[in-house]
Structure 1
């Protein structure tokens, strides 16, 4: 199995899980993004645009499936020149880039599939890292937040359907923030800078952060990820908890996240999307 690795903990988590399950794992580390310690794995470094070279190398080492993990900043497509890709594939990438991140990622998947690889997602490798339906953390903090959870989730799904972002913050019915290209960390930082009367405080918490996968996205790539830094940022913003799509959001180290949420006074609610 090949792993196209960007930034963060997820690529190493998936690689270790796949290897523990008996797979031979090969790492295409993206230059400028992959910052993990890949000692013990056969690894090559590639620029983001070197997709053709990645495919050749994965074929050479015998990989028949590929997964994508880790964050990568969106390239400037005014200067993005993929090496050795067919003109049709280059045109598809540039055209997709004008339609949003979801279309772009579908075009990337198509390049690897056309090269003969099966593209697999986290649910094929480590499904236990996906949010489950239920309530965790400081369960008592959930009381009185039902309306905010519903509204924040509705907004997150709506902006996701428009390929804008995957997260929203609501407190007492008021929309405090929606996520776009700045990402979750910057959005929560903006919330933390708002007046405490809007968002609550660490002693008197109020409001929720919702994170949902985009309704139409290919779930083999770019599922939203919640790590320890996000839990701490939600706490620092004075919010009461998180509402996450069950099966659509990844938790890095779930048990540690639940324990930290409990310690910080936050609830974590997993909700199944309606069919």
Structure 2
């Protein structure tokens, strides 16, 4: 028996539709997947009860799929089955997002459930290497890729996002906790970074926010980055897994909305890592890019 530990978006419904037996749909509170009825709602504070329910229902496999915003956590909402897990969760959260995901995955594995990536359950989500569009890649693409791969390494070390935008061999945008679409929107307008909310340390969160804004200002207001960012169009969107990340969870995904955002940002095209980025509604993505004269290279 398979259970989907679901976030928002279309990916959970795609995975569910390709299974011979309907899976159990488990969704984090506030994260309803598109087109699916949720069988079990849960919170981080009640994950122990979720584990108990899945074992009781004979679940042997789990798949983490869908987008999830960093959930809040209230000790007052902890239930009895989750209390013993708090030290494990606390250590993982302290070590960063990837560590937290691995720790949560480990809780399922300790109860005999095998974790499977969405791409393992639906192999066609991973396109074969090659140029999928009619538009060819630019001759200077390798210089862009070299810069983007360095960003990917840096983002992996910092436990940050999985995509960036390169223009004139300069990084003009990096994905952060707001996600890919927010990064691309920021190229089209003066996107305002949302103020983070932290129950435990609001002053520290505010200072982190100010520090991030000052770092951004230093990048955008001086040097070759500013010159590249000031240009009205052009550039390459790049997306790849963070080096060393567990590919059973949080494998990057693009879809039609990503393609539309890249088009609106007036970029030249998209490069994604072969065997590392899933593509939802591939035919629609290719059609949108073809109509706009952009390229998609699975590299």
TM bucket, shorter chain = 0.7 to 0.9
Q: Comparing 184-193 with 71-80, which one deviates more in the overlay?
A: 71-80
Contact 1:199 1:237 in 2 (8 A): no
Q: How many positions carry a matched residue from both structures? A: 263
Contact 1:209 1:243 in 2 (8 A): yes
TM-aligned CA distance change 1:89 to 1:135, over 3 Å: same
Specify the SS of the correspondent of 2:62.
strand
Alignment partners' CA distance in 1, 2:258 and 2:97: 22
Alignment partners' CA distance in 2, 1:176 and 1:79: 40
Residue of structure 1 in register with 2:14 after alignment: 13
Contact 2:46 2:82 in 1 (8 A): no
Residue of structure 1 in register with 2:4 after alignment: 3
Unmatched tracts of structure 2, length 5 or more: 191-225
Residue of structure 2 in register with 1:234 after alignment: 262
Which of the numbers 138, 141, 145 marks the counterpart of 1:145?
A: 141
Specify the SS of the correspondent of 2:296.
strand
Unmatched tracts of structure 1, length 5 or more: none
Contact 2:60 2:112 in 1 (8 A): yes
Residue of structure 1 in register with 2:203 after alignment: none
Which of the numbers 168, 182, 185 marks the counterpart of 2:164?
A: 168
Alignment of 1:60 onto 2:56: yes
| CA offsets 1:144-179 (integer angstroms, 9 cap, x no match) | 333113312331233123312211111011210111
| CA offsets 1:82-131 (integer angstroms, 9 cap, x no match) | 53346553112111112211101001101111122111112320111024
Residue of structure 1 in register with 2:154 after alignment: 158
Residue of structure 1 in register with 2:31 after alignment: 33
Alignment partners' CA distance in 2, 1:2 and 1:26: 4
Cα RMSD (Å) of the superposition?
Answer: 2.4
Residue of structure 2 in register with 1:177 after alignment: 173
TM-score, normalization by structure 2: 0.80
Specify the SS of the correspondent of 1:247.
coil
TM-aligned CA distance change 1:10 to 1:133, over 3 Å: same
TM-aligned CA distance change 1:62 to 1:199, over 3 Å: farther
Residue of structure 1 in register with 2:104 after alignment: 108
Alignment partners' CA distance in 1, 2:115 and 2:185: 34
Contact 1:131 1:244 in 2 (8 A): no
